[in-house]
Chains A and B, each alone.
Chain A
């Protein structure tokens, strides 16, 4: 069994990469976010190396004695993670480029509808207007129009 106590250098690398990645993720510009994602995922990949313990010989039966082998499983997982990150990064770059094509910048924008709802709430307005609440007449006009069984208009001899 090889030594599984973590290497301090690797741990420091993980901390630096993840911290820088998180910082960049908080930016508005999509290009910086992409850089953040790349740093973050690489930080996590290095963490997998920490999880696998110290490096040993190639894990091939017959070439390395059993107790001096590296753990191959984290390396397989890191490879998978690298491939996934590669694909996603390519997609993100394409999206940033498309955003630049359409708007001239690649900033992540706010939710417009949320802003609209918040603005109307701040002005104390209804979020929407009902078709039958759009008032164009005054109360007096409404009162005059209201049907009154005993009033002059009901008998047909008063002014309508």
Chain B
């Protein structure tokens, strides 16, 4: 490539962070805050799309501050990072517009949550930093940025219920951060570096027992964030109490950051596949326990939260297979699931608004009262359950094909379990549909007009989910190329450390000049 696009790499982190500071300074001016947020996220989305196109030829690397790679922090945009960035900014932008419209509709555009916009922007910056980080400690910092922001968002307003649920969320997240930090300290003690590319070179030289310990510690830390069974119990309890847009963006993105971290560390740092059987077992338990939880629920927000836990199992399945098709399908599934799950939570927020409740005992007759809402719920719900020809079906099909190709007993068990989970998802979703949309309304809800600004973004996300189906061919090609890149860590390593020792920052030149 002739044009150096390295300067694009930090934009998705820097733009939202800068805008967050600006929005905080303008806390008295609600409208200005909204405008700043929309502009910052739109620009970040544009930068992500540019990265998506540019990174398809080779990974883009930036050594922050000119400090060459193993000493300084590097930001790396390879195919996986760029795809995750693009999808997440598309989703965060839609949710932002939704929450703006909600603020206008509820008459609290100015008060009481001037803190919402800065925090939301910090959250997106943290997510982008985690996706781009080429350094284990910087990945930890990215996690902390997004977690600290999420602590504020989940307890927004400080009502009793949110404090109760937020307490559990904060403590569990802190626990996972502590484990992550512990793992970083031990990895540094063992290898003397935290740069991912250099770790990929040095970790294989360690004793296999030490490697396994480090791998499992990272896996548990990320597993808590990704809500893998048995570390998933916190999620369905804490997410549903937050405001609808916050729940939507948490459900769509935060668990996927954990999944991304698992993919990155499993493929780059520990490519041997030493814990693949363990991951397969965890995937099975996550799928089955999660969906059984969903079947038992009577509150639609909790029901959808449980399906979220369950479908993390699919991504884990693909990661555990670690074949090109399996990994590619898992990445495709992540992209699909971010859009669909977020859309579903936004629509559930609309249902709560229209029907006045999220309990399936009290909702009813929404198909008659709000037919547009019914369509908006039906499409992502069927997409989640994996009805052909939608993207959920394509992702599951890819995973099942990869499982059959692997052919082992464990993989075949997972294939059966994933089909069963898909059917149970359909059952849980159809139950919610029957009760919320078709049963006669137990209590006729008050006539509330749904603001177009809220319906619009929800519809846009539902449309994005359908678009993923239409462009599934090229997208699947892209995710398989991303998987191929992940399965060949030497590409990543040579991009970050071109001569195998140092990156391309200014300090590399200084080091060479020194005697």
Residue ranges of A at the interface with B (Cβ–Cβ < 8 Å) = 25, 30, 33, 37, 40-41, 44, 47-48, 50-52, 73-74, 77, 80-81, 84, 87-88, 91-92, 95, 98-99, 102-103, 108-109, 111, 113-114, 117, 121, 127-132
A51 with B137: CB separation less than 8 A: no
Given A33-B171, A48-B185, A92-B170, 18 further pairs, Cβ under 8 A? A25-B175, A37-B174, A41-B181, A47-B189, A77-B184, A84-B141, A84-B148, A87-B148, A88-B151, A91-B152, A95-B155, A98-B158, A99-B164, A108-B167, A109-B164, A113-B237, A114-B237, A132-B439
Tell which of B141, B185, B299, B360 touches A44, judged by Cβ atoms closer than 8 Å: B185
Q: Please, how many angstroms separate the alpha-carbon atoms of A33 and B181 in the complex?
A: 18
Contacts of B175 in A (CB 8 A): 25
- Closest partner residue, chain B, to A89 (CB atom): B174
Q: A117-B297, A131-B442 are in contact. Are A74 and B182 (CB under 8 A)?
A: no
A129 with B166: CB separation less than 8 A: no
Contacts of A80 in B (CB 8 A): 137, 141
A48 with B361: CB separation less than 8 A: no
Tell which of B160, B170, B171, B182 touches A103, judged by Cβ atoms closer than 8 Å: B160
Q: Which of A25, A41, A91, A111 has the most CB of B within 10 A?
A: A111
Residue ranges of B at the interface with A (Cβ–Cβ < 8 Å) = 71, 137, 141, 144, 148, 151-152, 155, 158, 160, 163-164, 166-168, 170-171, 174-175, 178, 181-182, 184-186, 188-189, 194, 237, 296-299, 302, 360-361, 364, 435, 439-440, 442
Q: Please, how many angstroms separate the alpha-carbon atoms of A87 and B164 in the complex?
A: 20
Q: A37-B178, A129-B361, A130-B435 are in contact. Are A113 and B170 (CB under 8 A)?
A: no
Contacts of B302 in A (CB 8 A): 113
Q: Please, how many angstroms separate the alpha-carbon atoms of A18 and B253 in the complex?
A: 31
Contacts of B160 in A (CB 8 A): 102-103
Contacts of B442 in A (CB 8 A): 131
Contacts of B194 in A (CB 8 A): 73, 77
B181 with A44: CB separation less than 8 A: yes
Tell which of B148, B164, B296 touches A88, judged by Cβ atoms closer than 8 Å: B148
A130 with B439: CB separation less than 8 A: yes
Tell which of A47, A113, A127, A132 touches B185, judged by Cβ atoms closer than 8 Å: A47
Tell which of A87, A102, A121 touches B163, judged by Cβ atoms closer than 8 Å: A102
Contacts of A109 in B (CB 8 A): 164, 167
Tell which of B144, B166, B178, B189 touches A95, judged by Cβ atoms closer than 8 Å: B166
Contacts of A108 in B (CB 8 A): 167-168, 171
A40 with B178: CB separation less than 8 A: yes
Q: Please, how many angstroms separate the alpha-carbon atoms of A102 and B71 in the complex?
A: 48
B182 with A47: CB separation less than 8 A: yes
Q: How far is the CB of A150 from chain B (nearest CB, A)?
A: 32
B360 with A128: CB separation less than 8 A: yes
Tell which of A41, A74, A77, A91 touches B178, judged by Cβ atoms closer than 8 Å: A41
Q: Please, how many angstroms separate the alpha-carbon atoms of A142 and B442 in the complex?
A: 22
- Closest partner residue, chain A, to B441 (CB atom): A131
Name the 5 nearest CB pairs between A and B, nearest first: A51-B189, A128-B298, A111-B237, A47-B185, A51-B188
Q: Please, how many angstroms separate the alpha-carbon atoms of A121 and B296 in the complex?
A: 9
Tell which of B164, B174, B188 touches A48, judged by Cβ atoms closer than 8 Å: B188
Q: Please, how many angstroms separate the alpha-carbon atoms of A128 and B360 in the complex?
A: 8
A128 with B164: CB separation less than 8 A: no
Q: Please, how many angstroms separate the alpha-carbon atoms of A77 and B139 in the complex?
A: 12
